Amino acid sequence: MPQKTLRFETACVHAGRSVDTGTGAVTPPIHLSTTFERKPDYRDDGYIYSRSGNPNRSQLEACLAALEGGADAIVFSSGAAAASAVFQSLKPGEHVVCSRDAYHGVLRILREVMSGWQLKITYVDSTDLAALKAAVAPNTRLVWVESPSNPLLKITDLAAVAELAHQAGALAVCDSTFATPALQNPLTLGMDLVMHSATKYLGGHSDVLGGALVAREAGPWAERLRFLQGTLGAVPGPFDSWLILRGTATLNVRVRAQCDSALALARHLAAHPNVEQVFHPGLETHPGHTLAARQMRHFGAVLSFCVRGGEVAALRAASRVKLFTRATSLGGVESLIEHRASVEGPESTTPKNLLRISVGLEHIDDLIEDLDQALAP
Ligand code: PLP
């Protein structure tokens, strides 16, 4: 069956994979070789040297292109490396409109690394389409948004962003890490590129770093991004690629179960006397709820909440959890809790009493009981 006809659940299991022709192995073999023999006439079989291409990486790229409905996928050693490649694909001096609420590491790349590139950057609240429209100019080359965003789970209208960007002749990119291809496909909403930290839900087990870019169209930009991948060499190793591909097989079922628990937990916390506010797009009170219901298939498995009693009370609750693990990151099978302002450092604008939760696959009642005892007076 041609892989583009596969339904999402089936593509998670089959896209990019085939039984190994040499051995009949059902699970893809891991190709550790860094170099590949050429034919006597010096032609190659598609692989030359592992920085420019590796079979495990190709399988992962084919899988992610299918899951996002893109023409091409280019994977990297981390989400940060993937984001860097996007900015490095621009010419020095070009204008970028970036969501103010983007992942703090992406903002740091722009501020502290790409400053040497002399990009002209306008930061906006991308949930405010009027502000976005005012920021996009005829010389804008790229619009970068993240939805849902970190850690306030703001929802940006991706179809509207793509239209605004295209009217100015700019490219539209969405960091869709929190949504995963199981919940949202930005390319089908008109975005030109979708970015993932594969470290999160794609890998899914907190044991591999990776990043991915999936392009709606094959063409000069995708070729430039692939050139940067091979030339700068921030590539995932064969085992990393293999682990992420293995993670994608269970992506759909993991994420759906995690989303169900996250929504139940968000509702529970919203009614908790020691919680001031809960941020989760599944709650009807969330400003992005209607939009999320339209452009996502479920509301995501990350939520944040502000603890009554300020930073001290938030840190105390985080210190008292027994089942949740106090650690940064998200998207693994185990539930994590973190005091986001501590992780983001001095530039952080995140409320000091905010805790962020990545909901794992534990029983919802165990998660509720753990948070209840942690939040008790
Ligand atoms: N984008 C988002 C939304 C993230 O949460 C992260 C990491 O937390 C990144 C990008 C960066 O990815 P990585 O840590 O794989 O470099």
Single-letter amino acid, residue 323: L
Instruction: Compute the distance from residue 106 Cα to the ligand 1 centre, in Å.
Output: 8
CA-proximal residue: ligand 1, atom 11 (nearest): 79
* Cβ of 211 below 6 Å from ligand 1: yes
Look up residue 82 and give its two tokens. Answer: 């993937």
* Cβ of 145 below 6 Å from ligand 1: no
What pLDDT score does 31 carry?
Answer: 97
**Closest to 52 measured CA to CA, from 77, 34, 37:** 34
What pLDDT score does 343 carry?
Answer: 86
Q: Is 20 assigned a catalytic role? A: no
| The dihedral sign for the CA sequence 68, 51, 231, 108 | positive
pTM: predicted TM-score of the whole model, two decimal places: 0.97
Look up residue 164 and give its two tokens. Answer: 């605004």
What DSSP string runs through 65-83? HHHHT-SEEEEESSHHHHH
* Cβ of 175 below 6 Å from ligand 1: yes
**Closest to 123 measured CA to CA, from 147, 108, 102:** 102
* Interval 227-286: pLDDT, tens: 999 999 999 999 999 999 999 999 999 999 999 999 999 999 999 999 999 999 999 999
Q: Is 103 assigned a catalytic role? A: yes
Q: Is 175 assigned a catalytic role? A: yes
Single-letter amino acid, residue 250: T
Instruction: Compute the distance from residue 87 Cα to the ligand 1 centre, in Å.
Output: 15
What pLDDT score does 352 carry?
Answer: 95
* Cβ of 367 below 6 Å from ligand 1: no
Strands, E, within the chain: which ranges?
A: 72-76, 95-99, 120-124, 140-146, 171-175, 193-197, 211-215, 275-279, 302-307, 325-326, 336-339, 354-358
Strands, E, within 44-119: which ranges?
A: 72-76, 95-99
What pLDDT score does 192 carry?
Answer: 98
Instruction: Compute the distance from residue 126 Cα to the ligand 1 centre, in Å.
Output: 19
What pLDDT score does 254 carry?
Answer: 98
* Interval 274-319: pLDDT, tens: 999 999 999 999 999 999 999 999 999 999 999 999 999 999 999 9
What pLDDT score does 290 carry?
Answer: 98
What pLDDT score does 347 carry?
Answer: 79
Q: For the chain, how many residues are written?
A: 377
Which residues in the chain land under pLDDT 50? 1-3
What DSSP string runs through 205-226? SS----EEEEESS-SHHHHHHH
Catalytic residue among 72, 101, 175, 370: 175
322 by DSSP, 3-state: which? coil
What pLDDT score does 2 carry?
Answer: 46
Catalytic residue among 17, 103, 123, 192: 103
Cis peptide bond upstream of 151, omega within 30: yes
CA-proximal residue: ligand 1, atom 15 (nearest): 79
Dist. CA 73–CA 54, nearest whole Å: 14
Which residues touch 101 (CB under 8 Å, ≥6 apart)? 125, 126, 127, 146, 149, 150, 152, 154
**Closest to 172 measured CA to CA, from 184, 183, 188:** 188
CA of residue 88 relative to chain centroid, distance = 19
